[in-house]
Each structure stands twice: as C-alpha cells, then as structure tokens.
C-alpha cells in the first residue's frame, strides 16, 4: 500500500517530536538550574496538531484500504 504525502509527513513529524521529547528535552532540562521554571508550551502547541494529523492519516489509510 502506497502512503500519501500527508501520511509520510505525519510519520516524520511524529518521529521528530518523539526524538525531541525523549532525547533533546531531558538534556535541555538537566542543563537548567533548579530555580528556572520549565514551561511546556510544546505540549499545548504540537501535541494537538499531531493528534489531528494522526486522525486524518488513519482515516485516509482505512478509506484507501476499504476501496
């Protein structure tokens, strides 16, 4: 089954976010001093967009699989 460009973009975005979340972010937070606040705006901004992209990609996948 051939993936659409949107599905490929969703997969790449998801992988990039996971790398950011589990590799880059812990290193950055460890470099901060104890008094620095950490405000996670990435959760508010990127996670809802990724969820919408994942839903659209799943709908595309199942519609294409059905036909």
Q: Residue 18: what pLDDT?
A: 95
In this prediction, residue 4 has a pLDDT band, given cuts at 50, 70 and 90, of very high
Q: Residue 61: what pLDDT?
A: 92
pLDDT tens, residue by residue, 20-66: 999 998 998 888 888 888 888 888 999 999 999 999 999 999 998 77
Cα 20 to Cα 45: distance, rounded to the nearest angstrom? 14
The per-residue pLDDT of the chain, averaged, comes to 90
Nearest one of 54, 1, 43, 53 to 20, comparing CA atoms: 43
DSSP alpha helix (H) spans, 1-67:
5-19, 25-31, 41-66
Per the confidence metrics, is the pTM higher than 0.75? yes
């Amino acid at each position: 089954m051939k993936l659409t460009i949107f599905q490929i973009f969703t997969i790449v975005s998801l992988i990039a976010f996971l790398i950011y979340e589990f590799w880059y972010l812990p290193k950055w937070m460890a470099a901060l001093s104890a008094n620095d606040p950490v405000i996670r705006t990435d959760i508010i901004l990127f996670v809802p967009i990724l969820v919408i992209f994942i839903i659209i990609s799943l709908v595309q996948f199942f519609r294409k699989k059905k036909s």
